Amino acid sequence: MYDLVIRSGTLVTPHGTMQTDLAIDREKIAAFGREISSKEEVDASKKLIFPGIIDAHTHMALPVSGTRSSDDFFTGTRAAACGGVTTIVDFTVGTRETTIPADIESRREAAQPAGVDYSFHAEVIGWNPSREGEIREAITLGVKTFKFYTAYAASGRRSNASDLYHAFQALTKLDGIALVHCEDEEIINSIVQHMGNKEKAQMSSLALARPPICEGSAIDQVAHLVQQSGVRAHIVHVSSGLGLAAIMQARKQGAKLTAETCPQYLLLDSNVYNRKDGHLFSASPPLRTKEDQVQLWEGLVSGALDLVATDHCPFTRKQKMWQGSFLDLPYGLPGVETLLPLLYSEGVVKGRIPITAVPRLLCEGPARINGLYPRKGTLSIGSDADLVIFDPNKEWTIHAEDLHMATDFSPYEGVGVCGAVEMTISRGRIVYANGNFEGERGWGRFIA
């Protein structure tokens, strides 16, 4: 007799849909079929069942711009569970003074209160060839994705071309994966240096200071290094049609590239910077145009983009208080809780993507790229029993006060949504149901 059976739901996979019962036993998916006996059961009639969502790009408790992102690992994963997310992949906080393995251990300690499972990307700050041993040790600790930046020199995070070249060679040898934040900082700096105080005092100047050419140029250079080194690389938060085109061209030339975009680049455009509260939308890369949105949606359908992640980095209104310049803001937006409902409502319901794209982009894609598959990201016997029971017909409106993220605004405030998470199951345990978080602090595990 199994622990739990989900009855009469429609299972959704990247390959199709199927109506059947699903049995869970000892935290794993154990069987499919009819007339399965169990200790407990959940009626999922007229509901969709997705694998647990994986948000492969989050920033909980991140020190940035003199403050800290407002979600810690408990509040952020509580919100994740309420949105159907059963695994997050966050980042270590790298420095030039600490080692990558020490950063991993420190971050694992910080993540212990998590309410759902988690893994990590390792930030690489101040690369030099002597750090190759650190990468080897990090991989033995269960972290094999390593984050680099082509921007943010002022904070010490930027890696120049020579740094990337040598780091990519080391990662190729050790079978690691490079994650890269691609913006050409020299172009950005040249634009900002020519701005007067009046332009800096306008929030709309953020989009002018970091135009799509910055993304495209940086991706071109990184892709060339990727191709020459043979490393596997992943481009984070692709925001523009120009950036997407650079990725597609690089793949044609043999670069082993995967890429993601985020809900904000699919649904919001730079016109929001003209609003009275436009400063709340500060993010890097900045929001683009409606035409960029169209191209990104097309990239999701064609497979040019491999996954959707949120880059969840929330701040409160107080933290984002306008200081007189777009340069003096913490950059980041909340999104972990609204990822699945928005992609379903704006993508599937509006006919932009097929329903099978949801588990491809939010489950299997991120699981495969981050080495979590098949433990995560799939409805398969033996996989962790991470499931989302989703009501495709429920209509609701996003209001920050109704969400569980530790922030007092949502970039999607007032947006009407069709489709809602009814229940979230993490390793066989119900952690969200009937509008309430039913999990507990510390339930989440580190997943190597």
Mark 385-398 as b/e (b = at least 16 C-beta within 10 Å): bbbbbbbbeeeeeb
Please give the pLDDT value at position 35: 85
What's the average model confidence in pLDDT over 58-80? 96
pLDDT at 4 over 90: yes
User: Residue 213: enclosing H or E segment and its boundaries?
Assistant: helix 212-229
What's the average model confidence in pLDDT over 337-351? 98
Please give the pLDDT value at position 434: 87
Please give the pLDDT value at position 112: 98
| Assigned fold of 52-369 | TIM Barrel (3.20.20)
pLDDT at 135 over 90: yes
Mark 354-384 as b/e (b = at least 16 C-beta within 10 Å): ebebbbbbbbbbbbbbbbbbebbbbbeeebb
What's the average model confidence in pLDDT over 341-350? 98
pLDDT at 411 over 90: yes
pLDDT at 227 over 90: yes
Nearest CA among 21, 123, 136 for reference residue 387: 21
Could you state, in order of their start, the residue ranges of all structural domains in the chain?
A: 2-50+380-436, 52-369
The pair phi, psi for residue 369, each rounded to 5°, is: -65, -35
Domain 2-50+380-436 identical in fold to domain 52-369: no
Q: What gap in Å lies between CA 253 and CA 127, rounded to an integer?
A: 27
Q: What gap in Å lies between CA 384 and CA 250, rounded to an integer?
A: 35
46-55, 60-69, 311-320, 347-356: least confident range: 60-69
Q: Are 376 and 87 in contact (CB under 8 A)?
A: yes
Could you read off the pLDDT of 415-443 as tens digits, one per residue?
999 999 999 999 999 999 989 999 999 99
Mean pLDDT of the chain: 97
pLDDT at 65 over 90: no
The superfamily CATH assigns to domain 2-50+380-436 is: Urease, subunit C, domain 1 (2.30.40.10)
Please give the pLDDT value at position 236: 98
Could you read off the pLDDT of 287-320 as tens digits, one per residue?
999 999 999 999 999 999 999 999 999 999 999 9
Could you read off the pLDDT of 86-104 as tens digits, one per residue?
999 999 999 999 999 999 9
